[in-house]
Amino acid sequence: MEQDLFNWESLRSGIITHGVRIVVILIGSLLAYRMVQFAVRRMEKAVEDDDPTTRSEAEKRAETLGRIMRQVSFVLFSLVAGMLIMREMGFEIGPIIAGAGIAGIAVGFGAQNLVRDIITGFFLLLENQIRVGDIVEIAGKSGLVEAVNLRTTVLRDLEGTVHIVPNGVVDTVTNRTREWS
């Protein structure tokens, strides 16, 4: 009599149980991300005025902060969902998290410029120094601010050239449109 290599019933029930949990994790993280997007859209709409030709200071700030909130929440929800799925698939995530912490310290020493860029970008946003749509001069480059990220600021000059300036090199910001232009 031939013996089954697999216990098909336990395999089927395991796939169903873990598969359902993985789907719930994915749906939950997607819903959480959608809720953040919804909140950001409401924030942006709350500061809109009736003039579609110009953007107010509040509209510029809401757009800039909204972009950052979307990016950070996407990364955060993706990492959390990935770790939960790995745990559901039977991986021990404790050693992975510990290893990531140690690797983070090692990378931190090697990526000091990256850390400086992110910290400077955080303070640029926190202190409301520049926003999308402002005309600024940063690190010897002038132009329209197209994007302010945690790591870089994107400027487009009058000739149409795009300048991507790492936030870590920003020591002086000249904002030509703040509050009155």
Q: What is the pLDDT of residue 3?
A: 55
Concatenated DSSP letters of 112-173:
HHHHHHHHHHHHHHHTT---TT-EEEETTEEEEEEEE-SSEEEEE-TTS-EEEEEGGG---E
Amino acid making up residue 113: N
Which tokens go with 163?
């300048």
Cα 145–chain centre separation: 18
The CA distance from 62 to 133, in Å, is 12
Q: What is the pLDDT of residue 129?
A: 86
Q: What is the pLDDT of residue 78?
A: 94
Burial of 121-153, coded b for 16+ CB within 10 Å and e otherwise, reads beebbeeebbbbbbbbebbeeebebebbbbbbb
Strand partners, 153: 148, 165
Q: Is the full-model pTM beyond 0.75?
A: no
Cβ pair 38, 44 in contact under 8 A: no
Q: What is the pLDDT along the chain (181 residues), one digit of tens a residue?
A: 455 566 777 767 777 888 889 999 999 999 999 999 999 999 888 888 878 787 777 788 888 888 889 998 999 999 999 999 988 888 888 888 888 888 878 777 777 888 888 888 888 888 888 888 889 999 899 999 999 888 899 999 999 999 999 998 988 889 888 776 5
